[in-house]
Amino acid sequence: MFMNTIECSKLSCSCPPEAAYARILHAVPDAPAVDVYVNGNLIAKHLPYKQFTDYFLVSPGEYRIEVFTTGKRESLAASACLHICPCSAVTIAVNGVLCDVGLIAIPEVYDVNRQIRRPRKAYFRSVNLSPNAPPLDITLTDGVRLFRNVRYKAHTRYIILDPGTYTLQVKPAGSNQMGLTVPNVVLERGRAYSIYAVGLVGGEPPLEAIMVQDGDY
């Protein structure tokens, strides 16, 4: 694996210095489990593909993120510098393919209980982390498109949906083909969620969608 470094990116913030939260996602489909270090400290050990860490509390400031194949500190897969602002939350995704691993910061809604202005509704968004997927649409089974043209490494804004259980489809943007069906997607009121497209189109492991609740500190 080769080092892939991204420049520091700042997350927007406009509040006094307070707690911030981060978590790590392993989204490299052909990579083994990884160890993740933050400023030289081991944060995640043997993190497998498709798994998130719990959120961890961080102070605002600059952080150096380094990713290694588990147990091989000499085998650097990726590194990045990230600036974390006060009152922010972020998922740091280890993404790409084994020969070209990278890191991206995916900002989230911070403090869901305060930010959601319609507490009887659910908030929902889409993230595309499938390295060989085309831009994707996320639709309901009746064809209604919730998200359009979500490109690789892009994330949408949160939309508001009624709480309930949904069946979703992930398909190439603008296509009416069946695509990947995602049943039993449960959205609870007053919660925020992300659906991540991961895996490889036509490869192994295959394209999948994983649901996660945001802001569950």
Q: What is the pLDDT at residue 74?
A: 78
Give the Cα separation of 124 and 187 in Å (integer): 8
Which residue type occupies 147? F
For the entire predicted model, the pTM comes to 0.90
Give the Cα separation of 174 and 192 in Å (integer): 26
Give the Cα separation of 98 and 26 in Å (integer): 12
Q: What is the pLDDT at residue 113?
A: 67
Other CB atoms within 10 Å distance of the CB of residue 203: 14
- SS3 assignment, position 144: coil
Question: Residue 56: pLDDT above 80?
Answer: yes
Render the burial of 155-176: b for 16+ CB within 10 Å, e for the rest. Answer: bbebeebeeeebebbbbeeeee
Other CB atoms within 10 Å distance of the CB of residue 10: 11
The residue among 205, 215, 204, 211 whose CA lies nearest residue 186 is 211
Indicate the pLDDT class of residue 75, thresholds 50, 70 and 90. Answer: confident
Question: Residue 159: pLDDT above 90?
Answer: yes
Question: Residue 80: pLDDT above 60?
Answer: yes
- SS3 assignment, position 114: helix
What number is the average pLDDT over the span 13-17? Answer: 52
- SS3 assignment, position 140: strand
Q: What is the CA radius of gyration of the chain?
A: 17
